[in-house]
Chain A
């Protein structure tokens, strides 16, 4: 009877799309040797959202869709718009955006477009691109510690990259919304309550949950506050240890040998796809010939060079943020020399961080729930 109960649970789970996606992972699980199994369920969740993103891109094509609505929010029929002989400026002001996190009402724009299941949900504020995240305002107020004799060693780079990415994807700063408590208050009790409040929000971000952050305009200012900076610094160190000291971290990037250009090209293709899906992924790499000189950075965006090769623009947490936006820190594959980083020279191994898929899937799920709540859509 118990068995049938469990089977019923399985069937119920399979009715849910999440369950179906995981079902295929379970099928693979039965045929895959345990040594080759890595993050199998996290990967399944990632792949499901990836497929949803690609499918949506095929439907939408490229670019945003704009509709015109009247002041009540109802769509204006096409024949009326044609009769207007072009849109007057006043009417344009009533246009809404039918994009992820856009401002169109749900009677104009489907919830699937406003709060997509795929990674398009990372596009916030509406219309943002991966590259637009690469600004000092969207960065932590402190850099990865890597000075003096430890220059260019790992430091807590992995934690820095992950924390930055978590805030960029999940935090919605609301500078004009008052916080429940005043962190600038001279009353110690009030200040303590405020610090506790913000630490709670930081915990949620660290737990891959999307949140509004009142009272601060951006990540730079939030992380500059010493009460919160200390907490974030500890989070960064812990996050680094969670990734780098783990079994998977042990073998992530300790190979200083030159890899094949095909291997580098596969990484570039994977990174490009993620950037096109509005993510700035974390990559781990090793200096060629120095297997223990390892670093983790975010990839800001990519640019195509005159000769058709791709250049990855890096958001290196050892360097100032502004270098990423102008692509001054970059990686390219040289046909004869292999992978090169402008700041390091020749690179040995380079891989996507193993936390990427699990984090991205959990973050997208949380963002979709938040978006659905705010837009009045049914939650998944």
Chain B
């Protein structure tokens, strides 16, 4: 290895990376995807054709009461918001790996869409609880 000259070293201090934020959200989302997504896919989205639940069990009254319960906000966070950040983190890195896109724009689009869709989920949850049965 040749020795670096003095002017090869950057004059400014390195910028602090924001990667820990995105990686933490990715990781937390990964836990939620592993622990909660199988149950919801199995019982709510595929439950009737698989014969695991009846149509009555997925009735409007029951689901509305469950989802719009105050604790339902935690469910929205765990099964929509965090998995969104998990997915968009992998898409961001996948775009780079496949040489499709890299740089600031791709990063803004990826995490920006995760933020936007999370806001949509929160808005749907806040506005949907008022409908009368």
Partners in one complex: no
